[in-house]
Amino acid sequence: MVGMENNSKHQAKSPGDDGLAFMGTITASVSHELNNVIAIMDQTTGLLEDKLSGAGDEVRIPSEKLEKIVTSLQNQAARGLAIIKSLNRFSHSADHTRCRFDVGETLQNLVQLTTRLATMKGASLDANLPNTPVEIESNPFRLQQAVFQAIKMALENAQKGDVINIALGQSDHLVKVTVDGPGIISNTKDIDPSELQTIISRMSGEVNIEHADQRLCIHLSFPG
Amino acid sequence: MATASVLIVDDEIEFSAAIAERMINRGLTADTAESGMQALEMLKGKSYDAIILDMAMPEMDGFETLKQMLEFDKDLQIIFLTGQATVQKGVEAVKLGAVDFMEKPADIATLIGKITEAQQKKVQLFEENLQNKMSDILKKKGW
């Protein structure tokens, strides 16, 4: 039997590998956040249990303390539900390779799922999305993969306090997504756009990358 | 043995506040820090028997915090408590100098058991260091 690590055929990337890697990155980040939610709820209920078991026959927990515990549990339950809802929407985006969907709603969901990755770098995401639907017939999963790749590139050189702006517009039968973040400055990493270009070309879209005033601006356009 | 003192470092402040309160209820002294940087500052002013450290934190992650903490004091007893527990990460943490590695959500009794072990180890290291210093002094004096 040939060991997989020595067999170069097994190391070659299949066309779906980058999509799987994208899904893996998102689910790993989301599952970590869900674990945090459960850990908080676990310790908070543990705290309540401590109070009840230590209080004797007549349980007297100060109402302020009880209110704080209940609020914490409610907040974490809401946080967990919002994460699961976003993850569910994201998972279903891979159901159809081509369908009609609202890009704004899809990007809003993607921003919610990727906020933690920005937070880990001390940065934040700011989505400027229109209130009216921007519909497109395309592959929703690939579109998210492309925008995520652009966000990742913008985050590459992000420092504490940086903001990555995500904007959506529509003109001349094209849907345009712009991701704007910190650019290449001394002692930061170079950015490789090849992965993004590969994803965009599969969607018959275009990518245009601009560097100006130490900002990196990635313009993605997709046929609407 | 004196009351164990612990510093909990986690960016999820509700988590660290709840676990700190539970430890205080059990007779420990517990402080919290919401970042690696804050924890490093706190170490300059106070000594702890054990440090409970999260792995995934904004800006300075757990590994970098661990390295800087051990540069500050190589005898610090650092226990990783993380939601990202994998064997590979556990091995990496221990190689870097962590004394233990636990997965969230953690059982409070198990965690306090680890803190007690860390406290005993710290006392043992203190006594060994003291003994070495004494031996050095005696050697210098030719005794």
Tell me the whole-structure pTM to 2 decimals: 0.84
Same domain, A186 and A209: yes
Q: Work out how many domains chain A is built from and give that number.
A: 2
Whether pLDDT at A201 is above 50: yes
| Residue A12 in domain | no
Separation of alpha carbons B85 and A2, rounded Å: 30
Give the pLDDT score at A1.
37
Q: Is residue A5 part of a domain?
A: no
B83 φ/ψ angles, rounded to the nearest 5 degrees: -85, -5
Which of A92, A121, A150 is a domain's end point?
A: A92
- ipTM of predicted complex: 0.86
Asked whether residue A77 is domain-assigned, the answer is: yes
| Mean per-residue pLDDT over chain B, rounded | 92
Mean pLDDT computed over A51-56:
73
Tokens standing for residue B41: 């500052």
Residues A144 and A110 sit within 8 Å (Cβ to Cβ):
yes
Collect all residues of chain B within an 8 Å Cβ-Cβ radius of residue A160.
59
pLDDT band at A172 (very low <50, low <70, confident <90, very high): confident
Band the pLDDT of B53: cuts 50, 70, 90: very high
Amino acid at B24: I
User: Which of the four pLDDT bands, split at 50, 70 and 90, describes residue B140?
Assistant: confident
* Residue range of the domain that includes A120: 100-223
Q: Do the chains contact at B25 and A50, CB–CB below 8 Å?
A: yes
Supply the range of the domain harboring residue B17: 5-140
**Cross-chain residue pair B18–A72, CB shorter than 8 Å:** yes
* Chain A residues inside the 8 Å CB shell of B59: 121-122, 160
Domain presence at residue A73: yes
CA distance A143 to A90: 12
Any idea which residue has 């609407």 for tokens? A224
> Chains A, B: CB contacts under 8 A, how many?
54
A46:B59 CB<8 A? no
pLDDT of B88: 87
Confidence of residue A137 (pLDDT cuts 50, 70, 90): very high
CATH number at residue B9: 3.40.50.2300
Question: Ramachandran region of residue A214, left (φ > 0), alpha (ψ -120 to 50) or beta?
Answer: left
- pLDDT (0 to 100) of residue A194: 86
> How many residues does the structure list for chain A?
224
pLDDT category, A67, cuts 50, 70, 90?
Answer: very high
